[in-house]
């Protein structure tokens, strides 16, 4: 679910129900397998999908909405935390 729809805000309870597991068990097993929390993994997947779209010329505000961010500033904060630079800087570096 996280990989299939990273723009969706999955709760741990929703994911646990899909996996037929208790939320605590799912969280522990997920961290054991991936080395990351469910939330960190979801944020990373969303940023990686955003990177694909940054190759085009779509305005950043539109990309923020498309990828499920509250606004462009929210997208920029998460992108910088994950990638170490802003979406605009990443876009310029790839052109």
Q: Which residues contact 93 (CB under 8 A, 6 or more apart)?
A: 85
Long-range contacts of 76-84 (CB under 8 A, 24+ apart): 78/43, 78/46, 78/47, 79/47, 79/50, 81/43, 82/43, 82/44, 82/47, 83/47, 83/51
% of residues, the chain, pLDDT over 70: 99
Quote the number of domains for the chain: 1
- pTM for the model: 0.81
What digits encode the pLDDT tens for the residues 69-88?
999 999 999 999 999 999 99
**Which domain does 34 fall in, by range?**
12-94
Q: What is the CATH number of the domain that holds 23?
A: 1.10.10.60
Confidence label for 6 from pLDDT (cuts 50, 70 and 90): low
What digits encode the pLDDT tens for the residues 52-65?
999 999 999 999 99
The pLDDT mean for the chain works out to 92
Confidence label for 95 from pLDDT (cuts 50, 70 and 90): confident
Are the CB atoms for 61 and 26 separated by under 8 Å?
A: no
């Amino acid at each position: 679910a996280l990989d299939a729809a990273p723009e969706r805000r999955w709760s741990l309870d929703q994911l646990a129900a899909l996996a037929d597991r208790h939320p605590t068990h799912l969280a522990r097993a997920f961290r054991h397998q991936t080395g990351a929390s469910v939330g960190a993994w979801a944020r990373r997947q969303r940023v990686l999908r955003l990177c694909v779209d940054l190759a085009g010329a779509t305005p950043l505000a539109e990309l923020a909405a498309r990828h499920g961010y509250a606004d462009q500033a929210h997208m920029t904060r998460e992108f910088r935390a994950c990638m170490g630079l802003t979406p605009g800087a990443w876009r310029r570096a790839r052109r």
